[in-house]
Structure 1
Amino acid sequence: MSAVPRMQTTAGRLARLGFADGARAERLLDELGPEAVGDLGLLDSLVAAADPDLALTSLNRLAERDPSVLGALRSDAGLRARLLGVFGVSSALGDHVVKHPEHWSLLGGAHAVRRPTAQELRAELLLAVGAEPGDPEPRATDAGTATLVALRVAYRGRLLRLAARDVTGEASLTEATAELSDLAGAALEAGLAVARSEHAESGSVRLAVIGMGKCGARELNYISDVDVVFVAEPREGVDETKALQSATRLAQGMMRACSASTPEGSLWEVDAALRPEGKAGPLVRTLASHQAYYRRWAKTWEFQALLKARPVAGDPELGEQYVAAMNEMVWQAATRDRFVEDVQAMRRRVEEHARAGDAERQLKLGPGGLRDIEFAVQLLQLVHGRLDPLLRRRGTLSALAALSRGGYVGREDAKALAEAYTFLRQVEHLIQLHRLRRTHVVPEDAGDLRRLGRSLGMTSDPVGEFTTWWRRHAMEARRLHEKLFYRPLLQAVARLPESEARLSTAAAQARLEALGYTDPAGALRHISALTSGVSRRAAIQRTLLPVMLGWFADAPDPDGGLLGFRQVSDKLGATPWYLRLLRDETAVASRLARLLGTSRYVTGLLLHAPDAVAMLGSDAELVPRPAEALLAEARATVGRHPTAAEGAVAAVRGLRRRELFRTAVADLTGHIDIEQVGQALSTLNDTTIQAALDAAISKVEMERRTPLGTRFAVIAMGRLGGFESSYGSDADVMFVHAPLEGVPEREATDVAFAVANELRRLLALPAPDPPLLIDPDLRPEGRQGPLVRTLASYAAYYGRWSSPWESQALLRARFSAGDRWIGTALLELADPLRYPAEGIADAAVLQIRKLKARMEAERLPRGADPALHTKLGPGGLSDVEWVAQLIQLRHAGRLPSLRTTRTLETLRAAVAEGLLSASDEASLTQAWRFASRVRDAIVLVRGRAADSIPAGQRERALISRAMGYPQDASEDLVDDYRRVTRRARRVVERVFYED
């Protein structure tokens, strides 16, 4: 052992080493003698202590009582680390060792690091009270003060050894709490032995002590009330009443033996308030009495308390019988009415009862405290544990690990909760060890915080580091508590009948049929495929599916929903976030079930854009994106494929799939109305055309190895031009170009023709998503006319050959994509035709009316019911649109408010200008909106377009449900449609066909 030069043991050096009062530390070291002053190992151990000043003070006091300790410390580094480690954390244990100096030797040698068994602890404490450990019902020598003092001294000796291993890192948190619980059980057994010494008739009754709470779970604190419940049975031939009286005296005597005040203080309070009826109920009951109470009268929280029940003292066989009987009820408690809500309400009451003044510093009851974690874990256990025996664990950390392994809690969430729980429990232990007092409040004193931080290995800034880590863990614990504890899926799972929750029962097929599945055998095959196996994925599916089956059953097409879910899960099941999202965000799982059970269109989109599931968790994600954002993303996508037009358009189609999904979900969930649907789909179509046009131009330029040489634009027509696209709409367009200066018109036209054809080809390539077909038939001369014209050619044609129907078609014309200058120039060219200054001539009106009548007669599909045809039927889309367009042709030349490509805007402007009554506009608008919704619903439900309300009852039912009608109300849909369109047709006949 090398000596430290005297000049280096000054007060300043000691202060720099970590002593708060360097001068005092120097004086105390001097008092230990010259060997201690020069002992580097001793000084290092003192400096390593959480509170070097406290450790040195206790060491000085001990050395006064037993100077031999100094020599032992020099020769045994393990003893030195343990003793000074305890002294630096606990002034109370320092006092104990000073009072009982023989106990310091307990911390030296190999036995000091060995973890004792529960049997060894029981034997040691029984011997302390003079009882024979091998006796089945050990009895103490007496119940006097000396016996109780001996029990306390032996108990604290064991507490000292555990604390030493704990503070030096030789015992983990789980090991420490388990040993504290075993030590408490041993003390209860010794207390019971003391009680037997007071009562000669104790042999007439069997008494078992059931540990509850942290004692039952083997996660006890250093200083805590020990919660117990007593169960007794009379011996054969003994009257039950007398036996219970004897058992009650034994129980009371045991409680006194542990909690009575002595010169060595008390151990802790034994709390039996968790028994049936609480403090108002009898202290001891028979097993049958316990069972009767819990079956008939117990409240929800009482079953939660029984989750931790464990025999800890007394008759072990009776204790096991009690736990087995209670477990039968505990693991069915979640099926009780409002079970989940009751547990959540209990947690809120506990929070409210926490003292307002120190709630934020409460490790146990405050926000982000231990109770947050424990309540969340226990609720998850109780809900899922009735079907999964692997969750039936008493300890919080072991239960959390099981919940994670079973997929009920995400791995990262479980890891964060376990870390927070471990940290908070360690802090709780350190706070309690200081003075061996029952407290859960983080101190405010800087010195106390410094000791806590250093105890946890934080040396650079103990106070700051400790505070940061404590707040961080508390915030994370609170966040995860609210995420897991208030997860609506818990309520849904808890309410499921066991026959329904167990997917593999023999009655499952009949149950599925009763729920509304038309192919229950097929449904069972899907369920088996999703849930079979031991993978985490299958485990989470086994949690989700019982609830989701009910959600599918509430959807229009349960079979389609389950099939779609299997298909999407097969696509995404190996993706870590997918099932985690469904499990943790019940709104996502519920919404997904509803969508898959309603819409083949949505299911098809998800199969090829499965990542879009992620947007179901937020209503904000369902807001259609602005045109500018879409266009920027689309152009960036094309830019990543500069030499492969097909790849560029395929990537843009991925964007389109995602946005179609967003719009369809927003539509089906009622977040947007039919006008907003048309706007969103038309904007998306414009974006898709622009991106494909960029790719087409790039390809043509590369092939020709020359710039385009002409300005090229796409003009939207029809429903696209009116921002009224539906899910099944083609893109009606015209193409216009204008050669750049110096470029021959013929050459420019050839290039423009190549671009137009390449655009059409790219968008027509086979793909899994809904196609966007380019339809250029509304161009001059229709299919017989050239695909692309110059601006001058359009001017010549419209100036000489234009017919009334072409003027009418131009009412929908607007710029869609390409060169805006040339697109705007064409629209300016079209304005005189579509907005004639003097209005349309009577002859032209007559021609339009005849065309409309012929279209109704000739274009309606053979066999179709005209009254149910949404486009050409009476009061349908065509009727309303032609009324609006005729008003525009007659009056838009003098009334700029009518110059819009949108049907409903035209009707509203017509009312404002006095051209249409408000009631007529309401009738026409209602019919147009209704017909548009029906057409869109048909596509969403069937996955393909159609114009007529289907004749089949099942398809009608699916469409009506998608539109928000209740079950079995498909005829209401038809009746409503007929009524609305009849009113609109009367307006059409009066406004369109009459002068």
Structure 2
Amino acid sequence: MNAAGRIDTTAGRLARLGFVDGARAERLLDELGPEAVGDVELLAELVAAADPDLALTSLNRLAERDPSVLGAMRQDPGLRRRLIRVFGVSAALGDHVVRHPEHWRTLAGEEAARRPSEAELRAELLFAVGADPESDEPVARDASTETLSALRAAYRGRLLHLAARDVTGEVTIAECTAELSDLAAAALEAGLAIARAELDEYDGVRLAVIGMGKCGARELNYISDVDVIFVAEPREGVDETKALRTATRLAQGMMRACSASTPEGSLWEVDAALRPEGKAGPLVRTLASHLTYYRRWAKTWEFQALLKARPVAGDLALGEEYVAAVNELVWQASARENFVEDVQAMRRRVEAHVRADQADRQIKLGPGGLRDIEFAVQLLQLVHGRTDPLLRRRATLSALNALSRGGYVGRDDAKALAEAYTFLRQVEHLLQLHRLRRTHVVPTDVMDLRRLGRGLGMTADPVGEFTTRWKRHAMEARRLHEKLFYRPLLQAVARLPADEARLSTSAAVARLEALGYADPEGALRHIAALTSGVSRRAAIQRTLLPVMLGWFADAPDPDAGLLGFRQVSDRLGATPWYLRLLRDQTAVAERMARLLGTSKYVTGLLLHAPEGVAMLGSDAELEVRPMEALQAEAASIAQRYEPDAEATVTAVRALRRRELFRLSVANLIGRIDVEQVGQGLSELNDVTIQAALDAAIAAVMAERGGGEPPTRIAVIAMGRLGGYECSYGSDADVMFVHEPLPGAEEREATDVAHAVANELRRLLALPTPDPPLIIDPDLRPEGRQGPLVRTLASYAAYYERWSSPWEAQALLRARFSAGDAGLGRRFIELIDPLRYPADGISMEAVREIRRLKARMEAERLPRGADPTLHIKLGRGGLSDVEWVAQLLQLRHAHRVPELRTTRTLEALRAATAAGLLAPKDEEILADAWRFASQVRDAIMLVRGRAGDSVPVDVRERARVARALGYPPDGSEDFLDDYRRATRRARLVVERVFYDT
């Protein structure tokens, strides 16, 4: 069946409704039975889920265990909605319900929407471990694995009940976090009951468990360490030493009961590191011992932590005594010397420990993350709460509301912070629910981002809308954090270079604003960090910064440039050559400032390999390295790390990162054009694939006992890789072909080839700080449904029997990339008659290609995209030009050998030389293709992530225009030029492609 025929299948309709794998969704729906297939309400709920494929998969697994769930869902729309919505968000809770199918029933009926009380949660978890909820000191039946597993199963059952109400919007974020905290407190109580079961005597001591952090503030997230402090008192007549020893055993037993691994997993770690003296101090202290420590030795951060303290388990009366006593100290802490500076320094230390490769995706600790909001709120609370008791709140949103009402924070600022905090907490919950893992890093995978966006109710463009909202909230949170947390910025102003130091804070801010800094207060902080102290580093930077501030201001994004400079300097500031380079070659500093202020992509590469700064000192260093040199270096790396495949490919990817930096810098400063960029990136990808293939073969054969592989393997480049036209964000489109050696068994050879292909993909996808190289094999025969690897004979049989015009068109880009060169050559010889057919393709095939192009224009352009601004699929864009060249090749390459090329511009030039295309038409098409390719590359360089449309946002478009060489006010000229070039190209396309 041809491509047009496949569109109207049930699988195609399901794919259009939101399923990623329509064919699989069709099969799973069929497996649910005829009633499910015709259940419109069921399908509507699946389509509304964050991840319809995941929801359907979990529903099928549950139905296999308990078929009655399908009938119950038809009778109870609330059950259907809750179950499918939670399945669409959480694979882990789907697994839990499959293990415990009776738990789905908690989502049915009126009780499903009711919020349980703190007492009910406590009683339920105590009952699960065989303890008496009515007892003051309940004891579990034992401390066996069975008891621990029962606690975990009951806990996750309640987690399921809450998550279902959460993802359906039946609880607010504050209600959700409060219930999570109550559930954690109940689990701690059950864990304490288990700990008592391990002791013969435990009644000689009173033990209180104090919740700290988010647990204490009743704002816990789904998966987090639970911070606690233990306080104990001996009962009357009991020796204190003995009582503390018993209390310590109880505390240790409780911690084990919660964190131990069982067949049902673990709950979470119980973290007591916030106690006096941290991990070096005793686990349990008396109340008097706690108070003595806090009065004599406590640091500022400890009082900040105690702001959240709340009794959560054990002897609650003793816990209340503890909280009342420490509160007197907490609310006087701001009177301590250097209190504000200490809190500010703590935030900086936290931020400094965030992994650089995750900083811009860290919603907790990174800039604009939850910690920014929490630290700002807590500092204001501690400073003003000394005299205003209304500010003494544990929870962030409640405290922020009190600060706003009291006039300490403006209403608009408070509202913006509350909205950002709520959004970030929702994102945090969705991230953690997926696998019930502790994470605060926004993923980069499109499917993960899609699930996040849809989980937040974004349906039109979930990835784009989510990313936009997240960045907007993070930017606003960071801005307000700087405004509130570092107010006033007197210290930063004092550390400015001499000519700025005489200015008041407001004057310094005004100066930076005039230079074009969007966040002048943040800029002051960076300047202070760079220039403070008496070190040589600080002295050189005090000399350079006044000039560099101007260079940053000349760049498209001065704030990003200054931040990047600070980050690179933090990495390399103590390195002698870096200091000398900055001091002696100011041209390097200028080039660095312009690059950092232009390209997030370059900044990211430099942060992971800051030694790349050395390349900026010499134009010769920025010359694109020949492929032979790269191959030799990759071979040397392989020899050095052999036989460790992962280490080899990690090192090769580091080589690729360095060369990406070289290419991107050369591109931005105008030393290479877009064709050279495409060639350089493609050759670099070839070298990377070859090294990964060699490592994969060695790893697979080692697993099979050693020896030589029973087959030859070749990687065939397709798409942009095949055309030597890769962009910075391009995947590597490839096909895998193998040929069994003489005497080898074909099945064994095929198994080895499949294993090698999968290992190659795995190695190149390993998480590292380096930009990934995604291997995309979807252009193979039958696409994702077809085998990943075929023999040469299998390709021949398929193409002889099944190939269609669009496959011949795709093969126009095919070339040998890596592996066995002889096999690659034979594959190319096999496909040449197909892509360069004798006498050209038929007119029916021409009409079919034109129909496919028209359908692609109508259906593949993203919803809401401006067709005049979409770089790839828009009018006169890359696809338009490429299809013109490819149709000319299919029709005439049999008699014009020069058309037998995988490169678009080369094909256009050959067509013009052969009289098949007017020189003026070739010029217009080539100009549009180059311009669109340059814009696509510039978007990636500026934003640090790929994009297929000319930015609509004015500021972002201006930055892209600047990267392309337009003046600061040239954004509209750039837009006009792009539209003009593509409009002219479209006229040629309509005449040459559709009318001839």
Q: What TM-score do you get using the length of structure 2 for normalisation?
A: 0.50
Q: Radius of gyration: which is bigger?
A: 1
TM-score in terms of structure 1 length: 0.50
